[in-house]
Structure 1
């Protein structure tokens, strides 16, 4: 691409996503690197305006709520050569037709992995100290606790943490856990022993991960092969009082089996996702003292959206300058991305 060429770009996402992620300085930066189509954003590729915009667009900046880029849509976008996504997964809108066209794809998944990893590490440490249980007891008793009666199972000294999948987020969790005095185990069939050693983790079989870990953190992408991967047998193998943390996809875990294990008090759970993503109002986990449910907040929230936007701006500048994406998504790597 000529250094003087400013590619024509358009925004494709829901208006709510645009309002959250694309603050005015971000829009100004995108407009500085491209010839940016003015608002409103494209949230329906079937309209006359959308088709007119797509006909001239070389680069789409996408976000949550972007419609799928199907063969039919791409037929109206003959000049489209790149997609820069302001969020994590591109599976919902980057179709096989995009890969077959040879369209360059970038994602802000690396930026989104950091807050998920931070949430995970916080929950590992808090549940290791049984902070929620202690706070609940303290609120009920409203008197000084006898620290000498603390069970030996409480604390984070040399606890075993199992990481299920060395995805982008899984790797960030491993990285953030390095300063702590923890034993970190990993199950990932695509990671070699040499790579595990470089990550500083012990590579173990799946069943052993659940049997040996005080905490298991799920970072597995949802694929046909991983649907319900964490089932009754694995949950039954967990140590009494062990913790399952899921920030990946709810359907990776057998929800019924997990509910049975948690309500029975055999294991504890921290769930930022579930199956379905909002459990029914009368679901037993809502009121279970052994479960903490959060509303899909591990990923980027509030001021963290700025990190997504800044990465995307950098990617657009690189691509417009002819340098290619630094955070390119490869089709052959999609099965490994959570």
Structure 2
């Protein structure tokens, strides 16, 4: 009798994913069609790359043999919540680091665009008005990076030519390659001196609305808040109050709610630049994700510890 191989579901987006480890049975699912095999046979699940948690979580209840889930995003808050309802232990892994370069690049782009008045210039262009103004610069500015993981570290490398004074904040105080990382408990004092604050921290119970009305009130006048993490790290109502008062500016690749609905006051808030959660999505993303999945499957087939374990 032929031994049963562990069943693996892969997303159909990985059309070029080949040279997969032997000893596993593979099926592909696009998140919309009927399930390719019985979910009860699946032991390793790589969900489709989508922001719709309902699609990702759809087959979970039927995956009674599930042992590991490899997310295709660095943020796993919603998927983690879905897995907590399962009556068995499942290892959840993130794609931490895979998306760091693109996300860090967008954070830098957003900061430069806001500081140099690119949104104002585009609006003047739409009006066909020649409207020269003097804007700020990133050179020599103090930058506070909240969440000094893969994205925060990559961003700091990109900031090097600008001569910025970088301060790092993480969940706990530690020493990193680029210098000391302060604990999040130091934030109330650190935000007072920052010209630019970049949020690249995961969304957890501890970071949900971390930047609430009280913390935003301590941010120095004229500072720029750049959020490339998750929208719920910031209290949206409190941020709206600050930008409408003209005290702060914001550049947001993420929002709360998300997607941002038509008519939401963030769309027309003064001093706010919005991009639709696109930081990680570059042409280089797919081969990086495929390489990660291939490594994880090889580890799984060999019974080895997986990379980027978030929780069990």
For the criterion TM > 0.5, the same-fold answer is yes
User: In 1, Cα distance between the equivalents of 2:210 and 2:91?
Assistant: 32
1:22 counterpart = 2:22 = no
SS where residue 270 of structure 1 aligns?
A: strand
Q: CA deviation at 1:230?
A: 0.8
Change (3 A) 1:175 1:69: farther
User: In 2, Cα distance between the equivalents of 1:141 and 1:93?
Assistant: 47
Which residue pairs with 1:160 in the alignment? 142
Residue from 76, 86, 93 that aligns with 1:106: 93
Which residue pairs with 2:309 in the alignment? 329
Give the aligned CA root-mean-square deviation in angstroms: 3.5
Change (3 A) 1:186 1:34: same
Residue from 165, 172, 180 that aligns with 1:190: 172
Q: CA deviation at 1:215?
A: 0.8
Give the alignment of 1:47-196 within 5 angstroms: 49-51=37-39, 54-55=40-41, 57-63=42-48, 64=50, 65-67=55-57, 73=62, 76-77=64-65, 80-93=66-79, 95-96=83-84, 101=89, 104-137=91-124, 140=127, 142-143=129-130, 145=132, 150=134, 154-192=136-174, 195=175
Q: Count residues with an aligned counterpart.
A: 301
Alignment TM-score, normalising by the size of structure 2? 0.79
Change (3 A) 1:50 1:116: same
Change (3 A) 1:100 1:308: same
User: In 2, Cα distance between the equivalents of 1:237 and 1:304?
Assistant: 37
Q: Does structure 2 retain, via aligned residues, the 8 Å contact 1:116–1:169?
A: yes
Structure 2 runs not aligned, ≥5 long: none
**Which structure has the highest strand share of the two?**
2
Residue from 269, 276, 296 that aligns with 1:315: 296
Structure 1 runs not aligned, ≥5 long: 13-17, 333-338
Q: Does structure 2 retain, via aligned residues, the 8 Å contact 1:116–1:247?
A: yes
User: In 1, Cα distance between the equivalents of 2:265 and 2:30?
Assistant: 41
Which residue pairs with 2:178 in the alignment? 199
Q: Does structure 2 retain, via aligned residues, the 8 Å contact 1:120–1:217?
A: yes
Q: Comparing both chains, which one has the higher relative contact order based on Cα–Cα distances under 8 Å and sequence gaps of 6 or more?
A: 1
Alignment TM-score, normalising by the size of structure 1? 0.74
